[in-house]
Amino acid sequence: MITVFRLALQSLRNRWLTAVLTVVAIAFSVMLLLGVEKVRTAARSSFANTISGTDLIVGARSGGVQLLLYSVFHIGDATNNVSWRSYQKIAQRPEVDWIVPLSLGDTHKGYRVVGTTSGFFTYYRYGHQRSLSFRSGKPFERLFDAVVGADVARELQYGVDREIIISHGSGGAIPGSEHADSPFRIVGVLAKTGTPVDRTILVSLEAYEAVHSPGSYGERTSQTPDLKALQPKAITAALIGLKSKLLLFRLQRYINTYRSEPLLAILPGITLHELWSLVSTAETALLAVSLMVVVTALIGMVTMILATLAERRREVAILRSVGAGPGVVIGLLVSEATILTALGVLAGVVAMYGLLVAFQPVIQMSYGLHLEVSGLSLREWGGLAAIIAGGCLAGLVPALRAYRLSLADGMTVRS
């Protein structure tokens, strides 16, 4: 077997150019497959950790996925609101450690405006319990202060002290819907998170109420706003953190059976998993495309070996004439295919990690997607082993073809 392996290496050395091109093709396919797997895993982890540290999300009774979409991802609209009285009753429950209200309904140039409290900056978590941080500026303090997400600041070229005007409605700016008499001043820009917060403009609940109240509370007037009068009558949803996870289902049952109005409390983690199962078709399609690229590379390798058989008839015939049995001839070409596949897999793994180390900071900064530089998972090891095994089996095609070449045909010089 060692002799056959050495013969295979020597044969590949004599045809080094085609061998190198084959290894490069396999390496690119393996790099793409592993890269897709890394991105898929990171995207799934990022999706699952869009919001973390929040035990319950409360809103008007509807579907759980719908509540998650409009409260966290800011997609769609709520079917109804939660009254401020009900919000206060829930906030006073002994199970509640903290609660953050959310009011939705306005936009600025297509970006959602969210009315909330300063507790949002304190308690909102994403990723692995990562808290929000500011790239510049600070949280809102005055009535018409605003904080913008990283994508809003980058795409609209906004910075601290920029004045903006929000519009009523979530469908974009409609003529006459702007709250021009109540401009906001940006006081903070959040760092990139890779979550919907990046595409959000955050203002205080009182400011949200002020722009929808009769009269002008804008900074252009000398009127001192009465914050008590600006207490909202209703909110869209609320994020809740509990004192103990053991109290989770007790509070959820209380909210879901709340008699004053129909409410719904969902567990973000479970609902995120349900939502991911609905959108994972694209993930499967991308993985299938990567596998097809690997299969194409292996087919190319088989084609290359088959193409050289006409030139190697004499080599095969000499081996058979000196007593080489079927196992030697077949083993020679199978070994070549296995060596090419193994070298391609190794080169692909090295290239993937090289690119991962080089572009990880850029991807983190631009897209908020954290690609962890870690060892290969069992799934990835299994995939690589399957590729090498596939290369070995693919080598049987030219090997059987070579063995069938007759000794007389191999020794005959064709003109």
Q: Tokens 């959602």 map to which residue?
A: 112
Query: pLDDT value at position 133?
Result: 92
What percent of the chain is modeled with pLDDT above 90? Answer: 35
Selection from 77-81, 101-105, 391-395, 407-411 with the highest mean pLDDT: 101-105
What is the residue extent of each domain of the chain? 2-47+280-411, 56-266
User: Are 185 and 160 in contact, with CB atoms under 8 Å apart?
Assistant: no
Query: pLDDT value at position 383?
Result: 86
Long-range Cβ contacts of 403-410 (<8 Å, 24+ apart) = 403/316, 403/326, 403/329, 403/330, 405/309, 405/313, 405/316, 405/317, 407/317, 407/320, 407/321, 409/313, 409/317, 410/313, 410/314, 410/316, 410/317, 410/318, 410/320
Q: How far apart are CA 201 and CA 88, in angstroms?
A: 25
Mean pLDDT (whole number) for 333-342: 85
Mean pLDDT (whole number) for 91-100: 95
Mean pLDDT (whole number) for 118-127: 91
Query: pLDDT value at position 230?
Result: 77
Mean pLDDT (whole number) for 316-342: 75
Q: How far apart are CA 140 and CA 136, in angstroms?
A: 12
Checking if the pLDDT of 221 tops 50, the result is no
48 compared with 216, residue with greater pLDDT: 48
Measured N-to-C along each axis, helices 326-367 and 281-309 cross at an angle, to the nearest 10 degrees, of 140
Selection from 21-30, 177-186, 332-341 with the highest mean pLDDT: 21-30
Q: What average pLDDT does the structure give for the chain?
A: 83
Query: pLDDT value at position 337?
Result: 84
User: Whole-prediction pTM value?
Assistant: 0.70
Checking if the pLDDT of 140 tops 60, the result is yes
Checking if the pLDDT of 220 tops 50, the result is no
Q: Tokens 């979550």 map to which residue?
A: 195
Checking if the pLDDT of 252 tops 50, the result is yes
